Amino acid sequence: MKRLSLLLAACAAVCCPALAHPGEFGLPEPDANSHAPVRDKVVLVQAGWLLAVPGAAPARERTIVVRNDRIERIDTGYTRPETITNADVSVLDLRNRYVLPGLMDMHVHLSMNSGGETAFRIRGVSDEIEGATAAQRNDVTQLIDSELNARKTLMAGYTTVRNVGSEGWHIVALREAIAAGKLEGPRILTSVATLYPGSDDGSGACSGVESCRRATRRQIDMGADLIKIYASCSGSRPCGRQDAPPTFLPDELKAIVDTAHSRQLRVAAHAHGEAAIRAALDAGVNSIEHGSFTPPDAIPLFKKTGAFLVPTLSVQDNIRKDIVTAKGSMLAVMQNFLAKHGPRMMAAYRAGVPIAAGSDAGIGVHGNNARELELYVKEGMPAADAIKAATVNGARLIGRDAELGTIEPGKIADIIAVGADPLADITALQHVTFVMKDGHVFRDDPAPAESPAK
Ligand SMILES: [Zn+2]
């Protein structure tokens, strides 16, 4: 136990600079020794170019007036600080940058690293010592891994993520620590453990209606914001093929969805094969994750239920690497996946299925989440809609579009900036230079020598 607490202390000192300055990006805190009223903090964000509502036309030379954690209004031109009274006013000069809402990634695995490696391992600890099980040790190491990955994600301009699948308490603890302003990372919605069909062992496996209800409630009781299920098996196994049968029986799927919905939680279904996608939509899930082989006859089901498609095209980068050494049935599965995934996503998009961007970071690299949007554009999606998938549609998918996803009065101040026009070149979003979340600045790189805004 001593070792564990030392590790946590080391993390606090090394990877959590915020802990050294708790007030640095916290909301104004009342001074216990002072009776002076707490003054609002107003930040005037001068945007050379502003894409306030992705999908609508951008504007030039605007000032976003941020009061504490909220967007108060957007002014035409550059507002002078003297015009704001009774507040602590500061100015952020983004006059030569392209400003847009904080990005949202609907499918990440913060506790996982590409290739299955953790950042470090606890060495020399026996399984028996002080009752520390492998699961407990994993929970601790994954807390540190997920904090490091959360920070990378935020610095890449992603201010909100859905973490879809992490066993143990670490992800709930991380979500809370970030929400309290103690650690740096995106706003996290987590599903805790992913549900899959199997003997009822308490870790997410369930079998039969009662067992699946119980497993769903267990995730909710652990603090889940949504429920994630494996409606098909993993895409990296032969059973992830196009014509594979669904994993769950229809009554099990329905039991999970109804239980989650009864507690006002949404359900995200990992599904590759055609039958699994249809079965999950029939049961009423709110999003299909991956949807690699989304068949034409699933499109009316999406429309009927309002479900989103979260395509995770970024996993193709891994498949292109792995296919070199693949053999037999797995090679055929991978070839078919690469041939169909993009075109089937585009068919769904063109038919009006809402696309919410999800990168599967954790399977891929953390902090490179915007690569996903580059792949949408490569498949033929206009850049404006790719950006919409990572902002407006993400906010709708999690039911938070009243306060996230755009830069509009009353919304939470999640704002990022890049040095080049992402509508002209979507890869500009892979070089974020400014990040504000909840009205606090987490990144503001020195301005480039020349103004890119023309
Ligand atoms: Zn995933």
Gap between the Cα atoms of 112 and 124, Å rounded: 22
Q: pLDDT, tens digit, for every residue of 400-434?
A: 999 999 999 999 999 999 999 999 999 999 999 99
**How far, in Å, is the centroid of ligand 1 from the Cα of 129?**
33
Q: How many other C-beta atoms lie within 10 A of the C-beta of residue 118?
A: 14
73-80: average pLDDT? 98
The whole-number pLDDT of residue 208 equals 95
pLDDT of 31 > 60? The answer is no
Q: How far is the CA of 452 from the centre of ligand 1 (A)?
A: 36
Mean pLDDT value across residues 58-82: 98
Q: Nearest CA to 107 among 248, 271, 258, 254?
A: 271
pTM of the model: 0.89
Between residues 135 and 17, which one has the greater pLDDT?
A: 135
Give the pLDDT band (50/70/90) at residue 125.
low
State residue 138's pLDDT score: 83
**Distance of CA 309 from the midpoint of ligand 1 (Å):** 13
Among 51, 49, 79, 86, residue whose Cα is nearest residue 65: 79
Q: Burial, 100: exposed, middle or buried (Cβ in 10 Å; 0-12, 13-18, 19+)?
A: buried
Fold category of 103-369 in CATH: TIM Barrel (3.20.20)
286 has pLDDT over 90 = yes
Percent of the chain with pLDDT over 70: 85
How many A from CA of 34 to the centre of ligand 1? 50
| 290 confidence band (pLDDT: 50, 70, 90) | very high
Residue range 265-285: mean pLDDT, rounded: 97
Q: With contact defined as beta carbons under 8 Å apart, do 204 and 216 qualify?
A: no
Helix axes 134-155, 170-179, angle to 10 degrees: 40
The CA distance from 55 to 403, in Å, is 17
CA of 135 to the centre of ligand 1 (A): 20
**Alpha carbon of 371 to ligand 1 centroid (Å):** 16
Residues 250/258, Cβ–Cβ less than 8 Å: no
Residue range 40-101+410-444, CATH number: 2.30.40.10
For every residue of 240-261, DSSP letters joined together read GSTTPPPSS-HHHHHHHHHHHH
Cα 210 to ligand 1 centre (Å)? 26
pLDDT at 131: 59
Residue 8's pLDDT is 39
What's the whole-number average pLDDT of the chain? Answer: 89
Per the CB < 8 A criterion, the answer to whether 426 and 111 are in contact is: no
Residue 34: predicted pLDDT: 60
Count each helix (H run) and each strand (E run) in the chain, helices first. Answer: 13, 16
pLDDT at residue number 124: 62
CA distance 31 to 19: 19
Find the 109 Cα to ligand 1 centroid distance in Å: 7
Q: Ligand 1 center to residue 68 CA distance, Å?
A: 35
pLDDT digits (tens, 9 = 90+) for 187-235: 999 999 999 999 866 689 999 999 999 999 999 999 999 999 999 987 7
Residue 358 CA to ligand 1 center (angstroms) comes to 9
Find the 136 Cα to ligand 1 centroid distance in Å: 22
Other C-beta atoms closer than 10 Å to the C-beta of 58 total 19
Q: How far is the CA of 209 from the centre of ligand 1 (A)?
A: 25
pLDDT of 367-407, one tens digit each? 999 999 999 999 999 999 999 999 999 999 999 999 999 99
Give the side-chain half-sphere CA count within 13 A for 202. 2
Q: What is the predicted pLDDT for the residue at 140?
A: 87
Q: 207 C-alpha vs ligand 1 centroid, how far in Å?
A: 22
Lowest mean pLDDT among 24-38, 76-90, 293-307: 24-38
Domain ranges of the chain: 40-101+410-444, 103-369
Distance 107 CA to ligand 1 centre (A): 6
**DSSP helix/strand/coil, 454:** coil
Ligand 1 centroid to Cα of residue 360, in Å, is 5
Per-residue confidence at 146, pLDDT binned at 50, 70, 90? very high
Q: How far is the CA of 108 from the centre of ligand 1 (A)?
A: 6
Quote the pLDDT of residue 111. Answer: 94
Mean pLDDT, rounded, for 12-30: 42
Q: What CA–CA distances, in Å, run from 64 to 45, 61, 378?
A: 5, 10, 32
- pLDDT surpasses 70 at 3: no
Q: How far is the CA of 417 from the centre of ligand 1 (A)?
A: 27
Ligand 1 mean position to 106 CA, how many Å?
10
Task: Please give the distance, rounded to the nearest whole angstrom, from the Cα atom of residue 454 to the centre of ligand 1.
Answer: 40
Whole-number Å distance, alpha carbon 235 to ligand 1 midpoint, is 10
Q: Which of 93, 98, 106 is nearest to 153 (CA)?
A: 106
Decide: 267 and 229 in contact? Cβ < 8 Å: yes
